[in-house]
C-alpha cells in the first residue's frame, strides 16, 4: 500500500470514528458485557510502570488501569478523545491523553515498559506499520499485549467474513477479517503466548527482542 493510499484510508477511518463517537458506547453496550472480563485479563498482563495504550477510544479500559502506573493513551479520533477526557474527569482517572495515529507515534524509541491495545488493529489501515511503531516505542525486552478479533479459522466462516468485511468497514471502520497474529509476527515482535478467548477473539502477548 502506498503512503498516499494509507493516508486516505486513515482519514476515512478517522471520519467514521468521529461520526460514531457520540453513540459508540451505546452501540457496543451489549458486547461490552462479554469484553469486560477480557479487558481485565489483558491489563493483568501489563508489566512495568510506564504504559502506552494505543486506541483509547472513549476510555473503556479506564477501570482496569493498574494502580500506580504512569499511563499515556492515544487515539487518532479527536471526538473519541473528547469522550475519553470527559470520562477521565468524571471517574478521576490519571491518564495523559494525546491525539495520535498508531502508524506514526510521536514518542522516542524505547519509551514504554508495556504497550497495550484492545480491538484496535482491526481499524489501523496499515496494521503491520502500526505494530512496528508499537515495537519501536517499547523498551528492549518490553511487552506488547493485544486483545483482538481475527479472521475465523473455519474456512466457511472466514469466507463469509471476507464477503461482509467491505460493508462492515464502511459502517463502523473495523475490519473483521484481519490476521493479527500473523501481522504481529511480521512486525518483528516475538510472540510469547496466544490465548483463544472465543472463536474469533485472541489475547496476544508479545515481546520486543
> Residue 82, exposed/middle/buried by CB under 10 A (0-12, 13-18, 19+)?
middle
Give the per-residue pLDDT at 172: 78
Each domain of the chain, given as residue ranges in start order, spans 3-207
Give the per-residue pLDDT at 9: 87
- Local confidence band at 1 (pLDDT 50, 70, 90 cut-offs): low
What integer is the mean pLDDT of 162-185? 92
Q: Measuring CA to CA, which residue among 200, 166, 194, 161 is closest to residue 177?
A: 161
- pLDDT tens-digit readout, 39-95: 999 999 999 999 999 999 999 999 999 999 999 999 999 999 999 999 999 999 999
- pLDDT tens-digit readout, 15-47: 889 998 999 889 888 888 889 999 999 999 999
What integer is the mean pLDDT of 167-182? 90
| Domain at 3-207, CATH class | alpha beta
Amino acid at each position: 500500500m502506498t503512503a498516499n493510499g494509507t493516508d486516505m484510508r486513515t482519514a476515512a477511518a478517522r471520519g467514521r470514528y468521529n461520526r460514531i463517537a457520540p453513540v459508540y458506547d451505546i452501540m457496543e453496550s451489549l458486547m461490552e458485557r462479554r469484553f469486560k472480563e477480557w479487558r481485565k485479563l489483558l491489563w493483568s498482563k501489563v508489566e512495568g510502570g510506564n504504559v502506552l495504550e494505543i486506541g483509547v477510544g472513549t476510555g473503556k479500559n479506564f477501570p482496569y488501569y493498574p494502580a500506580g502506573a504512569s499511563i499515556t493513551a492515544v487515539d487518532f479520533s479527536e471526538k473519541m478523545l473528547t469522550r475519553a477526557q470527559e470520562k477521565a474527569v468524571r471517574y478521576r482517572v490519571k491518564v495523559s491523553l494525546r491525539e495520535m495515529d498508531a502508524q506514526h507515534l510521536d514518542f522516542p524509541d524505547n519509551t514504554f515498559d508495556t504497550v497495550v491495545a484492545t480491538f484496535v488493529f482491526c481499524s489501523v489501515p496499515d496494521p503491520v506499520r502500526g505494530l512496528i511503531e508499537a515495537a519501536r516505542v517499547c523498551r528492549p525486552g518490553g511487552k506488547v499485549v493485544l486483545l483482538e478479533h481475527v479472521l475465523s479459522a473455519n474456512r466457511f466462516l472466514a469466507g463469509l467474513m471476507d464477503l461482509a468485511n467491505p460493508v462492515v468497514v464502511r459502517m463502523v471502520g473495523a475490519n473483521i477479517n484481519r490476521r493479527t497474529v500473523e501481522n504481529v509476527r511480521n512486525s518483528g515482535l516475538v510472540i510469547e503466548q496466544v490465548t483463544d478467548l472465543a472463536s474469533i477473539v485472541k489475547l496476544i502477548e508479545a515481546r520486543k527482542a
